[in-house]
Amino acid sequence: MRPLADVRIVAIEQYGAGPYGSVHLADLGAEVIKIEDPSTGGDVGRYVPPFAEDEDSLFFETFNRNKRSLSLDLSTSAGRSVLEDLVRRSDAVYSNLRGDIPERLRIRHADLRHVNPRIVCCSLSGFGMDGPRRRQPGYDYLIQGLAGWMSLTGEPGGPPTKSGLSVVDFSSGLAAALALIAGIHAARRDGVGLDCDISLFDVALSMLSYPATWHLTAGYRTERTRLSAHPSIVPFQNFRTRDGWIVVVCAKEKFWRRLVAALGRPDLASDERFADFSGRWANRSEVLEILEPLFAQQTTEHLLALLTDAEVPCAPVNDISQALDDPQAQARGIVVETSHPRFGAVRQVASPLRVGDAHADGHRRAPLRNEDFGYVVGELLGYDGERVVALEQAGAFGHAACAAQPG
């Protein structure tokens, strides 16, 4: 049995941040029932290009494997009744909506505890459920700018720059998943559920970490550095080689000594200017004036072999293809495959959460919209045919619910 096989989550989620958090829970065995709004065609992630056709996209596949889908119109009283029936049989309601929407949809613990006192209600939003920005939409790129990330990224003198990936979305999804599991643990221990209020903005600010501590405590202003250098440890950055790039990390004094010996400059280890972290940081321009030509004379392959043999932390600066082809990635089984009726074999990156043998289990493709209608209303909720028809006529599943039900 996978670690979360006894957990059921009702997920009112879409696009990236929320689904990224819950896909890891699904990979660990949780039953994630994805609620999709029939009036909008379901999760907007189904339509994200470039690999999108009808209601299928590789973007959606990435974030929704191992989940179930139910089309449900929560704006109707009939849809609400189905939601509450699901809440009775679930551990958590997980959402990623604007901060004021959980109150409006009545999906907070205070709104649902009469149905299930132990229900955990986890909201992941742009700015949280209180504060002056609670009604504002929040997206990764906006938060990277607002939270100061863009001011730290890129070359000195260049424009503000975002990360190459949606790191705020992904980190926030993981934070929400952690909060949700903590909430479920507390609810099972105490017999009472609770709310989890996670925001992209809070997560992004928390990830300012030690530069924020330096600023708040000492008034220090961290600035951009050349070649993606660490703000305080030297050398800890990219170096141009004769035919590419290499990243070198001297995070301990012993690595500095090994590096300069491997590069044929053991004398630098005894140079008083470069004797320790503080000295190399104070004299970083001089350090780099010496090191950069040494790297530029050699090929990446030669330097990697040389420094690896000297036990200096280093790596090539790969593109995506090279990263996924790395022998370590292959050895760890990080790429998984599912079968899709439109895309055929879909290969994607697995969850990094290796808990017991969960990583060895097979994976299901992401669901078609409303694919699990029969399972949810029949097997899980136990509705008979008359009840289903009544709910359909009342608009619980949207006007095209019947047509959207796969066999």
Write out the H or E segment, with its range, that includes residue 239: strand 236-240
Could you tell me if 123 and 195 are in contact, meaning their C-beta atoms sit under 8 angstroms apart? yes
pLDDT at 405 over 80: no
Q: What was the pLDDT predicted at 399?
A: 76
Write out the H or E segment, with its range, that includes residue 124: strand 120-125
State how far the Cα of 49 lies from the Cα of 182, in Å rounded to an integer. 35
What value does the mean pLDDT of the chain take?
Answer: 95
State how far the Cα of 369 lies from the Cα of 372, in Å rounded to an integer. 8
Q: What was the pLDDT predicted at 361?
A: 61
Diameter of the chain measured on Cα atoms: 86
Render pLDDT for 170-192 as a digit per residue (tens, 0 to 9).
999 999 999 999 999 999 999 99
pLDDT at 277 over 90: yes
Could you tell me if 94 and 8 are in contact, meaning their C-beta atoms sit under 8 angstroms apart? no
> Mean pLDDT, to the nearest integer, of 30-52?
97
CA nearest neighbour of 124 among 198, 61, 73: 198
- The pLDDT > 90 percentage for the chain reads 94
Could you tell me if 277 and 253 are in contact, meaning their C-beta atoms sit under 8 angstroms apart? yes
> Mean pLDDT, to the nearest integer, of 108-130?
98
Domains and CATH numbers, the chain: 8-206+331-393 (3.40.50.10540), 226-317 (3.30.1540.10)
> Mean pLDDT, to the nearest integer, of 244-265?
97
pLDDT at 87 over 80: yes
> Mean pLDDT, to the nearest integer, of 341-370?
87
State how far the Cα of 134 lies from the Cα of 139, in Å rounded to an integer. 13
Burial group, residue 333, by CB count within 10 angstroms (0-12, 13-18, 19+): exposed
The pair phi, psi for residue 239, each rounded to 5°, is -130, 140
Q: What was the pLDDT predicted at 406?
A: 43
Q: What was the pLDDT predicted at 404?
A: 44
Token pair 């003198």 is at which residue? 157
pLDDT at 262 over 50: yes
Q: Is the dihedral of CA 74, 187, 34, 385 positive or negative?
A: negative
DSSP single-letter state for residue 367: P
